[in-house]
Structure 1
Amino acid sequence: MLTDSLPNENATRKFKEFEYFGSKSDFSYYLLPFRFHNINEQREILVNEIGDFLIVPTGTAELIIERKINPIAYPELYGDLIANFFISEQPIPSLIDVLATRYRTKKSFLDYFTSLHIFVISLRCEHTCHYCQVSRVTSDKSRYDMSKEHIDAGIEMMMQSPNPHVTMEFQGGEALLAFDNIIYAVEKAKEAAIMRKKTVSYVICTNLAPLTEEMLIYFKENNILISTSLDGPDFIHNKNRHKPHSNSYQYAVNGIIKCREELGAENVSALLTTTNLSLQYPEEIVDEYVRLGFKNMFLRPISPYGFATRNEGKNKYVTQEFLEFYKKALKKIIQYNLDGHFIREDYASIILKKMLTPFPVGYVDLQSPAGLINSVIVFNYDGEIYATDESRMLAEMKDFTFKLGTLGINTYEEVFYGKKSLELSEAFLNESLPGCSDCAFQSYCGADPVFNYTTQGDIYGHRPTSSFCQRNMEIMRHLIELMDSDKKIEKIFRTWITGKN
């Protein structure tokens, strides 16, 4: 019980006076901002304001705060605390400018504003995936394709981004069912990029079933990247990603092989969505990715958006079940690496880059300020503009909370700096959110107002009951514990973020 740990019945959680945190006559240092968290019963982690961390014996944070660490009794620890900006011998550290520079570097993903522009080029699809998050329509309803007028307006808005390098990502439905529109959009974007002096990257998200030789040639000519879905062996993939009267697994595998041959393996990626069926086969799913020659895989939970929530028997599970699946799959991936076969887990790699390097990451779910608007914007097939891909999934359920405007009607300024964007900005900074502001993993995590709203009813969220929080905190704790327990694993993790075996 909490009361067991209190020193006396008059103990209080009231904030200490400012002078408490400064140096006193019998103390040798000042406290700098840091947070801490128990990794297990024996070890805890200290994390400073820029994400540098130290793994130390449990109780060390208390000794630091009580000014019981000194250079004579704890020479190595004392030196580490000074060097890593946990404590200072002066009120303002002599290397404060270095600390400021590193903080700016961590937040440099904000320098150029929105990069990723998602064009939902069509809502048509010939698959009937039970976890589909949007209200897909059958392939003969061409009125659900994005109009050329909306494509033009989307490109014009994309070109107004201050970012010199933008990404144009085509999604669906099944994007390849509107291949003519993709060609139109790419050619228009190429012309606009020359005029605006921008670089444009192109990505198509597809199940690969409609793939043709003509498409492959066009992909290669225009350096288009392919992102597909692979949920594991055929008995899982075919159940999860059903295609009536067809073998969706075989379509995916054949498409992956063809795209690799034409575009290069590095330009073809696959995503896994974890369903209830998937939870039972973590090792088999990893084996399948290795068998097909992938050097990376992304273990991601199912998203609680749109129509995916209607089939709870196949799609709903508690966070702990996913974490058990994740840890088993990660263990299998690590074992492959220990045996000399390189394959990385992408979600862990994103977190590890935030932990082990001074650089930011482009993954919008783990950014603060949040990735919505700052890093990504979505142009729906009907011309409506949303803060994130998840936002437009909510809109398919007639919830337009995160709608920012309409192509051809609202200006760039109205969309990106309007009332709705300003409202969201109040909740997309984890440094100022209750429960996040004092969390040891704050530097490695992000804020997600859309997830908070969907699962908890408001954009701010409630951390103690948030599955986003529970999942990320445990994955981060687990990664740190693995590194601390085995230097071979730490070395493997470092290869994941450097790409060097």
Structure 2
Amino acid sequence: MSKFQPLESYLDRSGTYHLLPFRFEPLDGEEVVLTNTVGEFTFLTREKLNDLVHHRLKPSDSDYTALRSRHFIREDGDEASLELLALKTRTKLSKLANFTNLHLFVVSLRCDHSCQYCQVSRQSEDKDAFDMTRETADNALELVFRSPNPAIKIEFQGGEPLLNFDLIRYVVEKAERRGHVEGRDLEFVITTTLALATDEILEYCRDHYIYLSSSLDGPEDLHNKNRARPGRDSHARFVAGLQRARDIVGYDSVSALMTTSPASLNRVRDIVDEYVKHGFSGIFLRHLSPYGFAMKTKSFQAYNAERWLQFYKEGLDYILELNKAGLPFTEYYSSLILTKMLTSSDPGFVDLMNPAGAGIAAVVFNYDGEVYASDESRMLREMGDTTFRLGNVYENTYEQIFTNDALLSALEDSFTGSAPMCSDCAFEPWCGAEPVFHHAMYGDVLGRKPESEFCRRMMGVTKHLLDIMRRDAEAKEIFMRWVNRC
């Protein structure tokens, strides 16, 4: 005699169930994707969706089990579904309680490069009026340590921040002393081309556990075209600096980021191969942003979201080929979105946060003491728009800066959970609010969603990832490995 009754004995014979909140989006003529409030998803045929909403789905149906386990439906007395949904919601939003983690210090606008898509209105090397002073840094650090977040990340940006390395030393050592007293978990990053990284600088980075974030746009000819400097040797300087940095600071202490210029669009395989050649474990296929010289040189207008999506899809397909051939390699933009799709956590990437990450996840202290809601806000200021200026380290208190109407209104008005055309979008749980981008492009923080390049990119990427997971089980396993490494 069996110790257990068959599965049918445990099913609800009444066939009654209650719908929990969900959205759906057609993927083709036959299938739709359903998403719930925490980003869990499932695929259904249109016929099954019709049965679901009319309460005709039978408990014996395999889709019924999937829908119940992923919190799309619940049965009478099934309180666990609501409790689990609430728990997952709290988990997704848990990072908000700690408030600002990333603090960007723009220590100099001076730079030795003249990149055609530069977003920060760089200045020539001899203009030391564009360097942050110690007094400005002191005031900024006072605001940094007012953050309730136990983990403080300070990232030094420019221009080329190594041109003001003495100030970096000063900030690092002062922050270390205070962080030790307060028990803070400190992390430091320098965003640099590596062209000016001497052994002395690199040894200091090693001794103080400073990470280095650099730029590599592709093979030598493409990199030199995108990132011009006197001597036309930016690629050679990057390669030499990368090797020295890995030897001195540590192999995993150096990362690289690319930007898709018009010249990059037909060369995504070459770009990926260059990253593989130099031993990187992944790449972020990053699009241009509408700020600074990217607008003045018309680089941003040179391609639209659809053309970038072609570039991205070709690159992702090639990266999947490499993984299937036995070479682990990650596309980081995809992995950020996949983490939101396939796990209960949120990676906290500022551009994909909701509420928007501006101010509440990252804040910028400019070289002149001005405080901005995000790096993009600071770039917008360099174009003459002060909408997202939050205050000044000499003039305003922590409370005044972080309760500034420029910040609070932007966060509230761009919140995708209540924004028109976002609140009923199936991809909303995986998306983010981008108030600065939409303000820059359309003059308001919400933007016009049917015309939004941000929305087109996000929907294009998300649909492509869903399509891959529907038809390619091996690729889905690769995606799971990517998100579990994050």
SS in 2 for 1:70: coil
Give the aligned partner of residue 34 of structure 1: 22
Q: In the alignment, does 2:282 pair up with 1:273?
A: no
Q: Give yes or no for contact 1:30–1:91 (8 Å, CA) kept in 2.
A: no
Q: How does 1:377-456 map to 2 (within 5 A)?
A: 377-456=363-442
* Aligned equivalent of 2:140: 154
Equivalent residues in 2 for 1:38-49, closer than 5 Å: 38-49=26-37
Please give the residue correspondences for 1:232-247 in structure 2 after superposition, counting only pairs within 5 Å.
232-247=218-233
CA contact (8 A) 2:275 2:283 kept: yes
Q: Residue 263 of structure 1: CA displacement?
A: 2.1
Which residue of structure 2 lines up, in the alignment, with residue 5 of structure 1? Answer: none
What TM-score, normalized by structure 1, do the two folds share?
0.92
Q: Distance in 2 between matches of 1:193 and 1:71?
A: 56
Amino acid at match of 2:339: K
The Cα of 1:245 is off from its aligned counterpart by 2.0
Contact 1:45–1:55 under 8 Å retained in 2: yes
- Give the letter for the 2:140 counterpart: G
- Structure 1 gaps of 5+ residues are 1-25
Q: Is the 1:124–1:142 Cα contact (8 Å) retained in structure 2?
A: yes
Does 2:159 correspond to 1:173?
A: yes
Please give the root-mean-square deviation of Cα atoms over the aligned residues, in Å.
Answer: 1.5
Provide Cα deviations, 1:350-407, integer angstroms capped at 9, x if missing partner. 1111111111112111111111111000000111000000001111111100000001
Partner of 2:50: 62
The secondary structure found in structure 1 opposite 2:265 is: helix
Residues 435, 59 of structure 1: CA spacing in aligned structure 2 closer, same or farther, 3 A cutoff? farther
| Aligned structure 1 segments of 4 or more residues deviating by more than 4 angstroms | none
C-alpha distance in 2 between matches for 1:203 and 1:61: 48
Shift of 1:498: 1.8
Aligned mates of 1:397, 1:487 — CA distance in 2: 47
2:83 to 89, 97, 105: 97
User: What secondary structure sits across from 1:498 in the alignment?
Assistant: helix
* Alignment partners' CA distance in 2, 1:78 and 1:183: 60
Distance 1:428 1:154 in 2: 27
- Tell me the matched-pair count: 473
Find the aligned partners of 2:343 and 2:408 in 1 and give their Cα distance. Answer: 31
* Cα displacement string for residues 160-179 of structure 1 (whole angstroms, at most 9, x for unaligned residues): 00001110000000011111
Shift of 1:413: 0.2
Moved more, 191-200 or 117-126: 191-200
> What SS does the corresponding residue of 2:149 show, helix, strand or coil?
coil
In the alignment, residue 40 of structure 2 is paired with which amino acid? D
8 Å CA contact retained: 1:275, 1:315: no
**CA distance in structure 1 between the aligned counterparts of 2:56 and 2:240, rounded to whole angstroms:** 64
Give the 3 Å change call, closer, same or farther, for CA 475–314 of structure 1 in structure 2: closer
Aligned to 1:4: none
State the alpha-carbon separation in 1 of the partners of residues 430 and 300 from structure 2. 31
Residue matched to 1:259: 245
Structure 2: distance between partners of 1:314 and 1:82: 45
What CA deviation, in whole Å up to 9, does each residue of 1:437-491 have, x standing for no partner?
0111111110010011011110111211111001001101101110111111001
SS in 2 for 1:432: coil
Query: Contact 2:294–2:300 at 8 Å: present in 1 too?
Result: no
- Structure 1 residue 325 and structure 2 residue 321: aligned? no
User: Within 2, Cα distance between the matches of 1:440 and 1:265?
Assistant: 41
Q: Kindly state the Cα deviation for residue 60 of structure 1 after the two structures are TM-superposed.
A: 2.9
Contact kept? 2:191, 2:212, Cα under 8 Å? yes
Contact 2:21 2:37 in 1 (8 A): yes
When residues 313 and 221 of structure 1 are mapped into structure 2, their CA distance, relative to the original with a 3 A threshold, is: closer
Q: Aligned partners of 2:437 and 2:76: how far apart in 1? A: 42
> Percent identity over the alignment?
43
Q: Which residue does the alignment assign to 1:12?
A: none
1:16-415 maps to which residues of 2 (within 5 A)?
A: 28-72=16-60, 75-90=61-76, 93-312=79-298, 316-415=302-401
Relative to structure 1, is the Cα distance of residues 468 and 314 closer, same or farther in structure 2, using a 3 angstrom cutoff? closer
Q: Would the aligned equivalents of 1:220 and 1:263 in 2 still touch at CA under 8 Å?
A: yes
Structure 2 gap ranges (5+):
1-13
Secondary structure, in 3 states, of the residue corresponding to 2:129?
helix
How far apart are residue 292 of structure 1 and its match? 0.9
Q: 1:275 to 1:59 in 2, by over 3 A?
A: farther
Letter in 2 for 1:88: R
CA–CA distance in structure 1, aligned partners of residues 485 and 376 of structure 2: 30
CA contact (8 A) 1:427 1:447 kept: no
3-state SS of paired residue (1:203): strand
2:473 aligned residue? 487
CA contact (8 A) 2:411 2:435 kept: no
Identify which range, 424-433 or 160-169, moves more after superposition: 424-433
